[in-house]
């Protein structure tokens, strides 16, 4: 029942008109951590730093999630864990490109513990155990259209963003590439480790995060509900 109420609050937050700064919130604890991941060891024996180009025996820690969390004083027992979509990082849930409070602030103000994740091989969790070529290609207009803001340069009617150069600049600059292959098993393993740390909570996912969200729920009994916004990946029919 609590997850249903949270879902209603999410929908209300989406429909809310732009507001001024959030009300003051007393934060009892905040911080960040890495969760999950793997370790790869190069063949051979580590021989010290006499030859820094010699990788023998050296290790690589990667494929973890990065999480920034805030816990308000007198918080609800239920945590809210947020996972972004394709081309995004945890920035999705922070201040919006046009300067409004994002879900992070909205739900902190309502007394919820918030855990904002960057999925493995993305953003601040960019250390991948698999190689990836990152191309620098002009694609701003593709993102504008894919996020259904409009058909560049027009904006759809009733889209709740300011149509100005400052907003567009902020929106385009929050895009971030994959540093390794997209792998739902890798992501859900890491997000299970996030819930191991956060405890019981509701998993709020967007777009590409949908598939890893449901996989995480299968792996973790701490996932007490899922709110999948525009899920773009499925592993069931």
Per-residue pLDDT reduced to its tens digit, 15-38 = 544 455 789 999 999 999 999 999
Q: Do 63 and 121 meet the contact criterion of CB atoms below 8 Å apart? A: yes
pLDDT of residue 82: 99
Residue among 26, 37, 146 at smallest CA distance from 86: 146
Residue among 185, 220, 184, 175 at smallest CA distance from 202: 220
pLDDT of residue 51: 82
Q: pTM surpassing 0.85?
A: yes
Q: Do 194 and 115 meet the contact criterion of CB atoms below 8 Å apart? A: yes
Q: Cα-Cα-Cα-Cα dihedral of 190, 191, 193, 196, to 10°? A: 180
Distance CA(118)–CA(141), nearest Å, equals 24
User: What is the sign, positive or negative, of the torsion defined by CA atoms of 116, 94, 168, 160?
Assistant: positive
> For the residues 126-134, what does the mean pLDDT come to?
96
Give 4's pLDDT tier (boundaries 50, 70, 90). Answer: low
Does 14 have pLDDT greater than 80? no
- Percent pLDDT > 70 in the chain is 90
Query: What ranges do the domains of the chain cover?
Result: 2-134+177-229, 136-174
Distance CA(101)–CA(96), nearest Å, equals 6
Q: Do 69 and 31 meet the contact criterion of CB atoms below 8 Å apart? A: yes
pLDDT of residue 15: 52
Q: Which residues of 140-173 are buried (b: 16+ CB within 10 A; e: fewer)?
A: eeebbeebebeeeeeeeeeeebbeeeebbeebee
* 65: phi then psi, degrees, rounded to nearest 5: -100, 150
> For the residues 78-102, what does the mean pLDDT come to?
96
* 5: phi then psi, degrees, rounded to nearest 5: -65, -40
pLDDT of residue 157: 92
Q: pLDDT per residue over 140-187, tens digit each? A: 999 999 999 999 999 999 998 887 999 999 999 999 999 999 999 999
Distance between terminal CA atoms of the chain? 25
Distance CA(66)–CA(87), nearest Å, equals 16
Architecture label for domain 2-134+177-229: 3-Layer(aba) Sandwich (3.40)
Distance CA(224)–CA(207), nearest Å, equals 20
pLDDT of residue 209: 97
């Amino acid at each position: 029942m609590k997850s249903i109420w949270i879902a209603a609050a999410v929908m209300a937050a989406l429909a809310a008109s732009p507001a001024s700064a959030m009300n003051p919130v007393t934060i009892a604890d905040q911080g960040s951590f890495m969760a999950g991941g793997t370790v790869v060891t190069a063949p051979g024996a580590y021989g010290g730093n006499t030859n820094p180009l010699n990788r023998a025996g050296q290790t690589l820690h990667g494929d973890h999630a990065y999480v920034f969390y805030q816990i308000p004083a007198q918080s609800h027992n239920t945590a809210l864990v947020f996972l972004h979509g394709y081309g995004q990082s945890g920035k999705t849930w922070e201040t919006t490109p046009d300067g409004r409070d994002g879900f992070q602030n909205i739900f902190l103000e309502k007394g919820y513990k918030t855990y904002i994740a960057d999925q493995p091989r993305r953003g601040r969790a960019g250390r991948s155990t698999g190689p990836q070529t990152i191309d620098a290609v002009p694609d701003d207009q593709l993102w504008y259209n894919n996020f259904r803001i409009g058909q560049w340069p027009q904006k759809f009617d009733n889209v709740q963003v300011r149509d100005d150069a400052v907003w567009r600049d902020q929106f385009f600059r929050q895009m971030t590439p994959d540093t390794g292959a997209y792998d739902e098993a890798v992501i859900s393993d890491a997000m299970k480790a996030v819930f191991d740390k956060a405890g019981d909570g509701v998993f709020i996912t967007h777009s590409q995060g949908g598939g890893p969200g449901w996989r995480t729920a299968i792996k973790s009994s701490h996932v007490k509900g899922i709110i999948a916004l525009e899920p773009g990946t499925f592993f069931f029919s």
